[in-house]
Amino acid sequence: MYKTIKEKIKEAKEILSNEAENKEALKTLYTSYMQIEDYKKSKIYLEKYLKLEKNDYNAWKILGNYLNNANNFKEAKKAYLKALEINDKDIRVFANLARTYIELDDRDNAYKTIQKAIELKSSDEKMIIEISNILCLINKYDEAINLLENFYQNCYSKSLTEQLAYIYERVDSYDNAVELYKLLNDEESLLNIYLYSTNQFKEAAKICRKNIYMDYYDYGYKLADIYLFLGYSKKAIKILNLSKYNDKHFYMLAYMERLAKIYEAAKKYSKAAYMREKMANIDKKEEINWAYLSKYRFLSNDYDRAIEAAKEALKIDKDYRVPLYYLAASYKKQGKDKKAYKIYNKLISNFENRAEILKNFYYKNMYKYCETEEEKEDFHNTDWKYERVSKEELLYTLLSYKDLEEYQKIKEVFNDYIYREKDNNKKDIHFFESKNIKTYMNEFHYNDGYITSIEIGEIFEELEMYEEALFIYFDVLNKYSYDEKIGIYHRLYSCYKKLNKDDLAKEILHIAKDIGINTNNFDE
């Protein structure tokens, strides 16, 4: 007769009341509680069982899992090792033990352990993927790829292909990743590579155009952003107009935000202000709308109303740099120097004192992620002065220096930070190489990433330092893909025009045309 789990538990407890060391009753209890997911009670009876039956490898494996889940990694390691003394053919135990070694920051033993799992030559696809994940955790990407490729030759599957494509992407082997994502028809992953890794904007645009009517939010706005970056403002506006047919509140706000950016790029600041004002009236608690409304009103020479908008933004976030700067700049334009300088000094002092703030932030939140002694040493020795400055933070500090006519300070900041980080800012991540730290940085802080060389050029342009911007653009011209060169040539042409060097501007125009770039919109 079939017994329910409750009946089995009741019967086993009755046996134990008369015979406290009955192994079968203890086994029934730990397995029954495990079945109903009462792991706390299961572990109690499991430990009692193992005191009596020390050679049950499956019981040691289960105990290791319980201890692992409780973050008791030292004891979990002992349990897994005991299981492997009894049965050294269980790949799952080797994999679990390898993960436990990783948690204990013992990568050498993790690697040795996972090698033993590989030697057992599993035919289970899920197990192969698990082993490849463990190899990636200890930075053995090449071995993970070899493992998957060898298995892949004999057993094609979607999950295996996804894993291999993911690892190719992690090691910047984008051609291989793209080939597999195409095989999977994974256009979302392809789009991310084209946009954020290889700068193949034309390929990205093809995917967006193909899918725009199925999912406007995911593809339409990205396509508008691509056109805007490449300088095709009319095409961007045409794409954004499609969202008018969707009357959802969120879509309309996103549409207006992008339209404001396009008007800003075209230097039509009154129209950009009109868009931001509509957004601010729809969502009065969103400080970014008021902040950029203050910017566009300032650039339209509407200083009184720029001050009003800046104050609205600062009611929501008193330390927000964008409205602080335009509040100060508007006061300065009105001749209210005392008010202006007080705000400028706040912007500058916050920037100059940021090293201590940053270091405190990292100590509280990131030091624990340092996995090796070398990382900890690098952490202590880091020059925090301009570590991972955001574009916005840097721009409005430098604009403040410019308004105060402290040009030497501008040079100091560029020399200390920007030229040091000019080549895509690789130097300042010297101790952020571990997976945990990079994940933390990407998900929880500094989502805008590094300041790229092109953005440095844009900052120079906003400072009206066009010669310096030209130097940056020429320096990076051959480091970027064809699609991104379109934007750089557009900026080179614009800088020469602003310097009234029309002959050089025409020369840039001819060079761009010769390599097949459409220059019809360069004067927009």
- Stated pTM of the model: 0.55
pLDDT value, residue 442: 33
The candidate with the shortest Cα–Cα distance to 463, out of 485, 490, 495, 492, is 495
Dihedral angle computed from the Cα positions of residues 220, 224, 229 and 232, in that order, rounded to the nearest 10 degrees: 140
Phi and psi torsions of 516, nearest 5°: 90, 15
Residue 104 exposed, middle or buried by CB count within 10 Å (0-12, 13-18, 19+): middle
CA 247 centroid distance within chain: 31
pLDDT value, residue 373: 72
8-state DSSP, 244: G
Phi and psi torsions of 390, nearest 5°: -80, 155
Q: Are 341 and 404 in contact (CB under 8 A)?
A: yes
Give the separation between CA 20 and CA 33, rounded to whole angstroms. Answer: 18
Q: With respect to residue 509, please indicate whether it lies within any of the assigned structural domains.
A: yes
Counting every residue written for the chain, the total comes to 524
Q: What's the average pLDDT block by block, 10 residues per block, for the chain (524 residues)?
A: 73 81 82 84 85 86 89 91 91 93 92 93 89 92 91 80 91 90 90 85 88 77 80 77 56 75 82 90 85 94 95 91 93 93 87 61 54 66 60 83 85 67 38 34 35 76 85 76 73 90 90 79 67
Q: With respect to residue 446, please indicate whether it lies within any of the assigned structural domains.
A: yes
Q: With respect to residue 474, please indicate whether it lies within any of the assigned structural domains.
A: yes
Q: What is the DSSP string of 408-458?
A: HHHHHHIIIIITTTTTTT-GGGTT--SHHHHHHHHHHS-TT-PPPHHHHHH
For position 482, which CATH number holds?
1.25.40
**210 to 34, 42, 507: CA distances (angstroms):** 50, 54, 36
Give the separation between CA 115 and CA 203, rounded to whole angstroms. Answer: 40
Q: What total of structural domains would you count in the chain?
A: 1
Give the separation between CA 489 and CA 519, rounded to whole angstroms. Answer: 9
422: domain range?
A: 416-515
8-state DSSP, 384: -
Residue 213 exposed, middle or buried by CB count within 10 Å (0-12, 13-18, 19+): exposed
Q: Are 262 and 236 in contact (CB under 8 A)?
A: yes
- The vertex-37 CA angle with 35 and 41, nearest 5°, equals 95
Q: With respect to residue 477, please indicate whether it lies within any of the assigned structural domains.
A: yes
295, two tokens: 């910017």
